[in-house]
Structure 1
Amino acid sequence: MEIVKEGSFVLNTVEAKEIRWAECSDNSSSSNYAYYMAKCMRSVAEPLLVEQFGEVVIDELFKKYKRILSHRLYHEDDNKSVIVVVSMTRRD
């Protein structure tokens, strides 16, 4: 993995998780999946992204993310994805 070779970070864990997006919402309507998917991902990713890139980009980033998800969900039947979770610690 390139980040380990570069040496600035220690890789703690790498996990792959299958996410069924209907579980992020109590609403089973496929027309609302993109909204709930983006909301679910934003709740996890926003604090990390704000720290790195600032608050200015967050709203636009998740608007684009929702549009991409809407397009994908329109063309796919399964409403699930694989999420890769990586935990790293910056070396001193």
Structure 2
Amino acid sequence: MVNLELSPAERKLVAIRRKIHPHIYKLKYLGAAMVIFGAAGPMMILMKMFENTLSINMFVFMCIVMGPIVFIIGYVYDNGYVRAP
């Protein structure tokens, strides 16, 4: 017989996951926006809309790197590859 009783910590974790889960699909759109913004960053730099600073370059780089990861997480959750709690 499998013990279905959850410990208080596990119960809290499940509650948190239930709260978060309806919003995970939004990561898909956030990731896509990050990719688009990351691609637009060098264009802005070329057009001299703002000065070519290190912080802007780092931000654009992070968008290009993290965007697809965030998009994939959102996509996987949205399409039900990961079971909702």
TM-score, normalization: structure 2? 0.32
More strand by share: 1
More helix by share: 2
Bigger RCO of structures 1 and 2 (CA < 8 A, at least 6 apart)? 1
TM-score, normalization: structure 1? 0.30
Which structure has the larger Rg over C-alpha atoms?
2
